[in-house]
Structure 1
């Protein structure tokens, strides 16, 4: 299939200094060089949302069918179905993000379970390609950051689960045993292969009822488009490739790559299975961005890649930011890094989080920075990726 390349219309200010006309001070330069990967570094009077933005092109690449269960985020009734979607044979990515929100008639312990049913005519084989299951918690930042890091690192299982036609099994057996207290988040991230059509259901029930029994008993499906949650449904886009259209040169100063902002990078569109209506995933959570940025140094400087919580002033829910991504080799080895690494969240400016430092080639030769990024669950968006020229030999 021919992929349509979508050139994002990002306004590019002239590459130079940051819009405030500032560069790193000598002390800030040294602080970044001394910092460990993933550490928080104070950059007073430097961080801004007004950096020149990197013009990029973005296009979908082949990937799995994508399902997310995050609308309603808070399941307010004791028993209900929060999501029901059908998938065709092939690979499926599934992001579970639901909270026990029962307050009436009283707060009560619940189970939130994902069930997969074989709707085909032959036995269905399920092979887990990526599996992340975490105990429920009210620490949403921790679940989001650690869950994403674990998903990026996950490897395929050798086990095959067989399901007879018409039968249903838990997608994640651990969910059957977790006790979900009021306000606790159930956070699971999965990618799996099925060879028959299947139905995926997320439901909330009491502690004594198994998922299979609850599936037979519960019929009420909660409506989507509630006041909380990013969205739910099935989406045809699960992976993007992103690359800059003009080579970054350190002589032109600081610049920013902004994805998952809902404006220059629109939210993906899909379908909500129980109503048949169009669905929008506000946040593109669970979508994988494979980023390649070309850069060079004509002034002998390197590049520091940093991020920060640019949305801290928006509301109380944006008071912290925690992320994870895979980054190519630079001063530090290639690998997956939690951001920040030395504490749970970064709060606001002047806090910046160091992702990587890239050294220049002696002859100014062009290089490529590679990132695997996904919008971090529980954090407000966007999470800007800032490229700062840095003197690597001060």
Structure 2
């Protein structure tokens, strides 16, 4: 998400005016796709472009948790400061922490960045973790982004119930309490939990020697809201279902699904409570897309799914892309796949990452392929999902 505002501006200026056209593979690319392992990079020379015909889709808001993101500021420049503070009501909460120790004046110094939950109700609060993903602070933002998503998808939560007395704080992620965050290191946490009392979620930067509860109680300064990076605040939309009214047919050629582009798929809106301003979640990071696409093969071909770094030439921050997804069964088993799985990132065309190859039914009947997608942290958007008819023989 670093320097995301620069990426988004170029994205909106670029995508909304591009004509779309049919695209075909060059000789040898069909064979290259079939010889590539799931999650690995395949070279598709002369093929990758944002101008590929887009799938017409419908986006349905699904019931989901209150969603909070902390990425404004991304770099916390004050030694002791609150980067986010939002009130939550009883029920499910999703929290995405994406903050960096940005202290370099008067000197670079070690910090801790912690996520805290306060019981603002009158009765004891009970907390249970539904999804948990916590990464060790690192300068390797791409690895953190894709591993964080993969861990979130794989998490089954915990049966442990924690109790918080009225007016008291607990750490949402006790691992963060123990981490020492050096200058420029990213703290990345992705959580979903349920509470039964009203509460307050905060993200605090403090001296590593200070207890997290003491920091939450002592530190009062909230960094002003700047409408920068992905953003911060609380959002009522956290989950979408994506369906296509018209089935993909392999005989019609290559098509792409473009999510989180800020144009066809606008950013979700919420509120930043400290300023009282409307907040846009630029990039829809942390939003979950349950994709169910109908497809058929009236010409006997299979359907390969690839993605690529379509923003590699935008600026210095877009030189790589790394993601994670959940994909239904095809040539490869269903499950979570890191993209790419055997390298840190994909860089630029002609590199694509093979996600799955879906097999046609014996009689050409309609099938449904399924994906769980969330925009990958640290990568520039959009990350197009391209469906390519391939000859499996």
State if a TM-score over 0.5 links the two structures: yes
Equivalent residue, structure 1, for 2:354: 354
Matches of residues 73-152 of structure 1 in structure 2 within 5 Å? 73-152=74-153
Describe the SS at the equivalent of 1:321: coil
Task: Give 1:12 deviation, angstroms.
Answer: 11
2:343 aligned with 1:331, yes or no?
no
Q: Which residue in the other structure is 1:5 paired with? A: none
Alpha-carbon deviation of 1:134? 1.0
Give, in angstroms, the shift of residue 179 of structure 1: 0.4
Return the alpha-carbon distance in structure 1 between the equivalents of residues 202 and 317 of structure 2: 28
Shift of 1:25: 3.4
Per the TM alignment, residue 82 of structure 1 is displaced from its structure 2 partner at its CA by: 0.3
Once residues 276 and 168 of structure 1 are traced to their aligned partners in structure 2, the CA distance between those partners, rounded to angstroms, is 24
Give the secondary-structure state (helix, strand or coil) at the position aligned to 1:48: coil
Task: State the number of aligned residues.
Answer: 378
Counterparts of 2:65 and 2:350, CA distance in 1: 39
Shift of 1:156: 2.1
For residues 329-367 of structure 1, the C-alpha deviation after alignment (integer angstroms, 9 at most, x for no partner) is 000011000001110100000001000001111211101
SS of the equivalent of 1:295 reads strand
Tell me if structure 2 keeps the 8 A contact 1:12–1:55.
no
Q: Which residue of 2 aligns with 1:319?
A: 319
**Matches of 2:366 and 2:27, distance apart in 1:** 26
Contact 1:302 1:359 in 2 (8 A): yes
Which of 17, 34, 37 pairs up with 2:22?
A: 17
Render the CA deviation track for 1:19-73: whole Å, top value 9, x for unaligned: xxxx223421111111110000000111111100000010110010000000000
Describe the superposition over 1:149-180 as per-residue Cα deviations: whole angstroms up to 9, x where unpaired.
11011002011100101111111111111000
Find the residue that maps to 1:130 and give its secondary structure: strand
Residue 382 of structure 2 corresponds to 382
* TM-fit CA distance, 1:188: 0.3
Q: Does 1:285 align with 2:285?
A: yes
Whole-angstrom CA distance in 1 between matches of 2:361 and 2:18: 26
The answer for the alignment partner of 1:297 in structure 2 is: 297
4+ residue segments displaced more than 4 Å: 10-14
Give the distance between the partners of 1:170 and 1:385, measured in 2 at CA.
37
Counterpart of 1:236 in structure 2 is 236
User: Can you list the C-alpha shifts for 1:123-146, whole angstroms capped at 9, x where unaligned?
Assistant: 000000111111100100000000
Contact 2:60 2:241 in 1 (8 A): yes
Tell me how large the CA RMSD over aligned residues is.
1.4
Instruction: Report if aligned partners of 2:18, 2:51 keep a CA contact under 8 Å in 1.
Output: no
Write the distance in 2 (CA, Å) between the matches of 1:241 and 1:338: 22
What whole-Å deviation, never above 9, does each CA across 1:273-294 have from its counterpart, x for those lacking one? 1111111100000000000111
1: CA distance between counterparts of 2:214 and 2:333? 49
Contact 1:11 1:53 in 2 (8 A): no
- Any idea what the Cα deviations from partners look like across 1:247-274, whole Å, max 9, x if unmatched? 1111110000001000110000000011
SS of 2:132's equivalent in the other structure is strand
Q: Contact (CA 8 Å) 2:298, 2:364: kept in 1 or not?
A: yes
What are the residue-to-residue correspondences of 1:23-62 with 2, within 5 Å? 23-62=24-63
- How many Å separate the matches in 2 of 1:362 and 1:125? 52
Q: Which runs of 5+ in 1 are unaligned?
A: 1-9
CA distance in 2, matches of 1:47, 1:279: 34
Which residue does the alignment assign to 1:391?
Answer: 391
Q: Deviations over 1:180-221 (max 9, x none)?
A: 000000000000000000001111001111111112211110
TM-score scaled to structure 2, two decimals? 0.94
Counterpart-to-counterpart distance in 1, 2:316 and 2:302? 36
d(CA) in 1 for partners of 2:60, 2:161: 33
